[in-house]
Structure 1
Amino acid sequence: MTHEARALAFETALRRAGVRITRQRAALLRVLAAAEDHPDAIQLFQRATAAGAGVSLATVYRTLSALETQGVILKQVFEGAAARFEPADTRHHDHMIDVDTGEVHEFVNERIERLQAEIAAEMGYEIVRHRLELYVRRKP
């Protein structure tokens, strides 16, 4: 999905929730849609401010909450860090979090996916959803 299409999907979700789309909020949605990382609310506020949005931090938090409620973004809470956000329309992936830098890396590994399904099946279950977070440090 393009950044423009994603920003429009975010806007549509907010309208569905009865949220008014102001110039500041529209700029914030464009910043969020263009994010290639997993920004937290403060980072989104800073990026929107740098883009000239003039958005308040309270508006950022309210907007993120509404987008999460509408199911178009996912709130990721990694150990020891502020909540981060990513679009909900991306394909399934897992996360590696660098404990020294806080960087979040997405990855997909079919062996891990198969193994998880096999373990669940051996125990008489099927996976409905899952999250895998690896907390890592670069080797010296």
Structure 2
Amino acid sequence: MERAEEFEQALRRAGVRITRQRAALLRVLAAADDHPDANQLYQRATEAGAGVSLATVYRTLSALEAQGVILKLEFEGEAARFEPADGTHHDHMIDVETGEVTEFVNERIEKLQAEIAAELGYEIVRHRLELYVRRKT
């Protein structure tokens, strides 16, 4: 199923009406290959001719998050960003100078986290790792 269709079905399950503007916003969100914030999505949808309001963007994102189809990422000192919840587990590196977000997976880190939790008598239910970085000069 296409991601935009999945988003639309999630909104319908939440009782949200799918307007032409909201459908255009869903296509913009589905096409995002970065981690846009609400303002960036609003700008992209506006550029695509959606005629959507910023309030509609926020309401739509909130409904999608409540349905579990997108994740809200709150990185230090930045506006909340969003990504689809359908991907495999990954962690994030956030460039503190540019705001660029890089996804990564590292099996050594995953194994070490599980080992540390086990040593302390726990098992990991879920986790999120964020590395705040800057390019070496």
Would you call these one fold, judging by a TM-score over 0.5? yes
Secondary structure at 1:18 match in 2: coil
Letter in 2 for 1:121: A
- Runs of 4 or more above 3 Å deviation: none
Equivalence for 1:43: 40
Equivalence for 1:82: 79
For residues 107 and 24 of structure 2, the distance between their equivalents in structure 1, rounded to whole angstroms, comes to: 37
For residues 28 and 57 of structure 1, the distance between their equivalents in structure 2, rounded to whole angstroms, comes to: 11
Equivalence for 2:117: 120
Equivalence for 2:20: 23
Shift of 1:20: 0.2
Secondary structure at 1:58 match in 2: helix
Letter in 2 for 1:28: L
Q: Which residues of structure 1 form unaligned runs of 5+?
A: none
Letter in 2 for 1:134: L
Q: 2:129 aligns with which of 123, 128, 132?
A: 132
Q: 1:73 aligns with which of 66, 70, 73?
A: 70
Q: Which residues of structure 2 form unaligned runs of 5+?
A: none
Output one character per residue of 1:89-123: Cα deviation in whole Å (capped at 9) or x when no partner. 01000000000000000000000000000000111
Letter in 1 for 2:110: E
For residues 25 and 31 of structure 1, the distance between their equivalents in structure 2, rounded to whole angstroms, comes to: 10
For residues 9 and 20 of structure 2, the distance between their equivalents in structure 1, rounded to whole angstroms, comes to: 15
For residues 24 and 88 of structure 2, the distance between their equivalents in structure 1, rounded to whole angstroms, comes to: 25
Letter in 2 for 1:16: R
Q: 1:58 aligns with which of 44, 55, 58?
A: 55
For residues 33 and 117 of structure 1, the distance between their equivalents in structure 2, rounded to whole angstroms, comes to: 33
State the superposition RMSD in angstroms: 0.7
